[in-house]
Amino acid sequence: MTHQYAVEIVLTRPATARELHRARCHVTFAANADRTRLMTVQRGKSQGHTLHRLRRRLDTVLPIDVLTTHYPDRHGRASPAQCRPQPPR
């Protein structure tokens, strides 16, 4: 069964207009005013699978710091994705 998850994307720095444009080719999202946080709704079998797939899509496009589900799962836990340093560009 596939579920939908609200995911918050926290960036290490404000995204440029070009980075946001390139990211929108992969994922539909809403950005806050200072472009350091993005929100999207993604489908997936589990929270972890959804976060992993989203990170793979956007890791080369945006300076991602943390991905988290915005709402906790049925057990009351939020599932942050693994934080890792950005590869040099």
Q: Give the residue among 80, 31, 87, 42 at the shortest CA–CA distance from 61.
A: 87
The three-state DSSP-derived secondary structure of 35-87 is: CCEEEEEEEECCHHHHHHHHHHHHCCCCCEEEEEECCCCCCCCCCCCCCCCCC
The answer to whether residue 74 sits within a structural domain is no
For residue 7, pLDDT beyond 70:
yes
Q: Tell me which residue range forms the domain holding 24.
A: 3-69
For residue 12, pLDDT beyond 50:
yes
The answer to whether residue 45 sits within a structural domain is yes
* pLDDT, tens only, 33-87: 999 999 999 998 888 888 889 999 999 999 999 888 876 667 777 665 544 545 5
Q: What is the mean pLDDT of residues 15-20?
A: 96
pLDDT at residue 85, as a whole number: 47
Give the pairing type, strands 64-69 and 37-44: unpaired
Count how many domains the chain has: 1
Torsion angles phi and psi, residue 22, rounded to 5:
-65, -40
The answer to whether residue 31 sits within a structural domain is yes
The answer to whether residue 88 sits within a structural domain is no
Q: Domain with 34 in it: what CATH number?
A: 3.30.70
pLDDT at residue 83, as a whole number: 45
For residue 26, pLDDT beyond 80:
yes
